[in-house]
Structure 1
């Protein structure tokens, strides 16, 4: 299971935002939303506003393609933020 689409609470710190992961693997057996949220904060040291969870799809080729597309879009957004906004 993986958490993805994580919206981090970085207090506007762009360097921190860019350093945080786009997705995090969740340990097997962890299903409670609060437990998952706490796990992510414990692993990164940062809080988040929201996240999405995908279960049992790590080996699915459709999932891998979708994640690649999301990563590309995120990279483009991050580059825009760095070059156009700051």
Structure 2
């Protein structure tokens, strides 16, 4: 069956009568077949048809699932950037205080001399593949590092406009640099990014 990178089925609640090993052996995420890729995702009949397809395809009933829309790699990375940048802005607006840094740790990975993880003269905000560094001298560094290792950055700059421009120039997946696959797939899932709530 032809599949289309547009939607995926997630949080599938397989009915395995409590058999955890069986549950774990069943897929937890499935690319939605093209026949079901429509915009009318809340219609009861539509969801019932998807449920029947899942049961027929995998041999087990389920008591629920969610359908998530996918976005292109560029859109996904820009969403990650906007999320991290909102956190970085909030930290800056609160004068980089320990209180704001502790608060933002519930939304992203934060490292700094005040909250731990480093003795360097910066605050590092990380979520997904985006890293933003707020330096003590006021400069800001932006990195895209899908492999999470020193020296493996795809983009590394001190200018937010050139950072976002470079993200938009990335070719479609797979993205390969120096014979290393950085991104295998073209899509991301916007529901995976949490909502950032600024500190009052």
Same-fold status (TM-score > 0.5): yes
Short-chain TM bin: 0.5 to 0.7
The 1:19–1:65 alpha-carbon spacing in structure 2 relative to 1, beyond 3 Å, is same
Residue 66 (structure 1) aligned with residue 189 (structure 2): no
Corresponding residue pairs, total: 66
Of the two structures, which has the highest relative contact order with CA contacts closer than 8 Å and spacing of 6 or more?
A: 1
Question: What secondary structure does 1:33 align onto?
Answer: helix
Report the equivalent of 1:84. Answer: none
Report the equivalent of 2:30. Answer: 24
Report the equivalent of 1:39. Answer: 53
> Aligned-pair distance for 1:47?
0.7
Residue 50 (structure 1) aligned with residue 176 (structure 2): no
> Aligned-pair distance for 1:10?
0.4
TM-score (norm 1): 0.64
Residue 5 (structure 1) aligned with residue 11 (structure 2): yes
Question: What secondary structure does 1:10 align onto?
Answer: coil
RMSD of aligned alpha carbons = 2.3
Partners of 2:32 and 2:54 in 1: how far apart?
Answer: 8
Higher Cα radius of gyration:
2
Question: What secondary structure does 1:6 align onto?
Answer: coil
Unaligned runs of 5+ in 2: 1-6, 39-45, 80-188, 194-200
Asked if structure 2 preserves the Cα contact closer than 8 Å seen for 1:8 and 1:49, the reply is yes
> Aligned-pair distance for 1:11?
0.4
The 1:58–1:48 alpha-carbon spacing in structure 2 relative to 1, beyond 3 Å, is farther
Unaligned runs of 5+ in 1: 68-86
